[in-house]
Amino acid sequence: MKKHLIDNLILQLNCISLVAAKEDALQTQKLIKQLIDTIRYKNGRKDQILKIKEELSIVENFLQIFKTRLGDVLVYDIEIDEPCLDFYIPHYTIMAFAENCLYHAFENKEGRWEISITGKKSNNHLEMVIKDNGKGFDTSKYMSASLFSTDYGTIGSTISRLERYYKAEAVTHIESRQELGTSVFIRIPI
């Protein structure tokens, strides 16, 4: 999206936020702020390397927006070991997989939508898992990043950026089973 369009959208959202404040619509005002923060993050931090805790803050915003919309249908859990929060990752690493869960994994799914994001230090690596109980997909069709879309923020782009940043030492592995969900394993050197 072009910068002037994003700036215009944020300006308009801020105007709506002011109206929400005047009407004491605190939940609406909070959602608008979360949306603005998410838009700014996606478009303003592109290609940067940042701390995991910064990315998780936006992932939480994003998930909370959907939680407000979906209520008890969406359940999410984020558990990253404290020492891992200050490790650096390429922008939109976790967010790409979280977005993919909500935009694709749960399409036409009945029942609860569950997402978990975990991370821990293991030897000289950070091991992260992003897991959902969505519809799953046939991973044999997606055995390499080249088969995914390479547009910025997509799975293919994320895998490629991880491999470039960590000089092919980053390992991303995806396991998925039809109707049982998908698990994305990311192992990066620290």
pLDDT tens-digit series, residues 141-171: 655 445 567 788 888 889 889 988 988 777 8
Helix, strand, coil share (%) of the chain residues, nearest 5: 50, 25, 25
pLDDT tens-digit series, residues 77-113: 999 999 999 999 999 999 999 999 998 888 888 899 9
Q: What is the pLDDT of residue 1?
A: 59
Averaged pLDDT for residues 54-70:
95
This prediction has a pTM of 0.87
Say if residues 132 and 113 touch (Cβ distance below 8 Å). yes
Helix, strand, or coil here: 30? Answer: helix
Homologous superfamily assigned to 71-189: Histidine kinase-like ATPase, C-terminal domain (3.30.565.10)
Domain boundaries, the chain: 71-189
Distance from C-alpha of 17 to C-alpha of 36, rounded to nearest angstrom: 10
Buried b (16+ CB within 10 A) or exposed e, 77-89: ebebeeebeebeb
What average pLDDT is seen over the chain? Answer: 89
Averaged pLDDT for residues 47-72:
95
pLDDT tens-digit series, residues 104-140: 888 888 899 999 999 999 988 999 999 999 998 877 7
Helix, strand, or coil here: 137? Answer: coil
Question: Residue 71 has what DSSP assignment?
Answer: G
Averaged pLDDT for residues 5-26:
91
